[in-house]
Structure 1
Amino acid sequence: MKVMIALDESKGSFYALNWVLSNVLKPVISTENEERENLVYLVHVNLPFQTYVYPAGPVVYTTTSVLESVKHAQEQISAGIFARAMKSCKDLKIKAEALTMRGEPKEVLCQVAEQKQVDLLVVGSRGLGVLKR
């Protein structure tokens, strides 16, 4: 079974990951009594950084050093998320692949799900409460 899990820094996304690992991904026995392997795609989507800012006056464009530092910070955040998620997968001996993407999360997640032909796409609740959800 191929499962794609959208991850960010929130508790909800890691709750979804742990729930899937403990409730959905169990060894699946095929008809020839061979175990089929489960595969988890861990996907983190970074929002694109705008290269301009609107201060009180004219438009100000950011410098390349600012862009590089933002990209570096996003890479560090992604690495931290994946380290934590991969540890959970490794503890349960489930094969996982980490993917960092850039763009609008709802669009990118759908594109990757179609491209990888996943059986199940799991996302958290976006941190919304019961009424807003």
Structure 2
Amino acid sequence: MKVLVALDDSGGSHHALDWVLRCLFPAGDQPATEEARHELVLVHALEPLHHAMCPVGGPGSAVYGAPAIMQSVRAARKESARSLLDRA
């Protein structure tokens, strides 16, 4: 059986993961037969990253964030997701 658990930083998602680990992957179990083997998939989804835009001057004028800033934001989001999965 394949089980998917969606993780965010909420207590509910950590409770769901804890339940799956206790009920489907109990410690000390004998290795399961191929038919009874369970697979756990953890998912953490992020909203799409939109380019930052700052209004300047008159109506309709704006400046987009520098590519280096956007890369920095992407890297920080990846690290945050990795940290969440490590804590799980």
* TM-score normalized by the length of structure 2: 0.72
Task: Give 4+ residue runs of structure 1 displaced > 4 Å after superposition.
Answer: none
Alignment of 1:10-49 (within 5 A): 10-23=10-23, 25-26=24-25, 34=33, 36-49=36-49
Q: CA deviation at 1:5?
A: 0.8
Structure 1 counterpart of 2:4: 4
8 Å Cα contact 1:3-1:40 kept in structure 2: yes
- Equivalents in 1 of 2:55, 2:9: separation in Å? 29
Unpaired segments of 5 or more residues in structure 1? 28-32, 86-133
- Equivalents in 1 of 2:11, 2:20: separation in Å? 14
Structure with the greater alpha carbon radius of gyration: 2
Report the identity percentage.
Answer: 38
Instruction: Give the letter aligned to residue 72 of structure 1.
Output: A
Alignment of 1:45-64 (within 5 A): 45-55=45-55, 57=57, 58-64=61-67
Instruction: Give the letter aligned to residue 34 of structure 1.
Output: T
8 Å Cα contact 1:53-1:62 kept in structure 2: yes
* TM-score normalized by the length of structure 1: 0.51
- Equivalents in 2 of 1:34, 1:49: separation in Å? 43
Q: Does 1:69 align with 2:69?
A: no
User: Larger relative CO (CA 8 A, sep 6+): 1 or 2?
Assistant: 1
Question: For this pair of structures, how many residues does the alignment match?
Answer: 79
Q: Does 1:84 align with 2:87?
A: yes
Unpaired segments of 5 or more residues in structure 2? 27-31
Higher strand share: 1
